[in-house]
Structure 1
């Protein structure tokens, strides 16, 4: 039996009905999702700028640099795989998520503490910003430590927690990678001198009208 379709062009191909069998998608047939954070200037907090899709964190870093630092001031980038970021529930603006969470104290430490990065969202519609780093043996303990150290800086609508080892960070010695060479000022909007051209156009038209 050949395949019958509402599209006569498909019917004329006389394809066997077996082509209707759809093979299941293979695992990892698509790039993984990473979240990117950038630092606008020295000393500023790293702020969430958006996701990228990449086969690994090194490529994700390059994609993040190309996508989020070409046209905006930036001196550093962090990337973390989306699945490595633990997210708290969201609260309403003006409320503090730490006040609404029941985080139990750890019974005892059986593992060595490690570093966790804490990101706060202070208002819906804004971006998560890096609040600081805590030492803990689990995500729950990291959240508890974050509440102790940063919980009073509310209102905080949402919190992201990620192990520091899962964050690929730009190194101090790589600062020159953000410098735009004189021959390529594509990152600086002023290099296009759009306003100069508009002003010149207006002046020429005013002269003609007179």
Structure 2
């Protein structure tokens, strides 16, 4: 046992060597989800950050509270981190499409059914991934190849994220009122404080 002149250490009865570290149990934490929002109608969806949640519905609720307070956006997408495929990173003046390898040909047999994949570009390190469009593909690798054909002329492209549309939880048009500020909470809006009016009045009174 460890000995010490400090009575607090003595009372703990600590062993000389720590017990072997035990690995964490699987799934002992919430899953991570990535959040994208649309600042206004017609604008592209862009990445704003992650949330941890036990389900996609709860992740959407957390994302709304964390990233869209005071009507900061008009739409939101939430997708599990595990559902996103991504490329390597290249320099700020390069295009990752220049180094994207061709996908392997499909094995003979019944062809896979194609579906919608969403494509997000990172134009510069430190910025946010932004939605540039969608492609029809049979896999994430095939989607990246299709994206190269559709969006490969855009430069620079530092990194690309690919995800199935089916994996994305989206806000619908009929859900727009979830961002509305109720009348009794108008005092929380910055404009309700009329700060500039008070500043101007103070300047006039003390000039």
| Normalised TM-score (structure 1) | 0.86
Structure 2 match to 1:157: 158
> Structure 1 residues 27, 6: CA separation in 2 closer, same or farther (over 3 Å shift)?
farther
1: CA distance, partners of 2:99 / 2:188: 43
Structure 2 match to 1:57: 56
Aligned 1:12-161 pairs, distance under 5 A: 12-13=11-12, 15=13, 17=15, 20-21=18-19, 22-71=21-70, 73-104=72-103, 106-107=105-106, 110-161=111-162
May I ask how many residue pairs the two structures share in their alignment? 204
Query: Which deviations, in whole Å up to 9, do the C-alpha atoms of 1:11-45 show, x marking residues without a partner?
Result: 124x3649943543222222221110001111111
User: Cα offset for 1:128?
Assistant: 0.6
2: CA distance, partners of 1:34 / 1:84: 9
Q: Which moved more, 1:20-29 or 1:68-77?
A: 20-29
1: CA distance, partners of 2:4 / 2:37: 51
Any conservation in 2 of the 1:45–1:129 contact (CA below 8 Å)? yes
> Structure 1 residues 4, 62: CA separation in 2 closer, same or farther (over 3 Å shift)?
farther
1: CA distance, partners of 2:187 / 2:36: 21
Any conservation in 2 of the 1:113–1:136 contact (CA below 8 Å)? yes
Any conservation in 2 of the 1:70–1:187 contact (CA below 8 Å)? no
Any conservation in 2 of the 1:72–1:187 contact (CA below 8 Å)? no
1: CA distance, partners of 2:84 / 2:133: 15
Structure 1 match to 2:171: 170
1: CA distance, partners of 2:177 / 2:94: 41
RMSD: 2.4
1: CA distance, partners of 2:5 / 2:121: 53
1: CA distance, partners of 2:188 / 2:143: 38
User: Cα offset for 1:187?
Assistant: 6.6
Any conservation in 1 of the 2:77–2:170 contact (CA below 8 Å)? yes
What's the secondary structure of 1:34's corresponding residue? strand
Any conservation in 2 of the 1:84–1:163 contact (CA below 8 Å)? yes
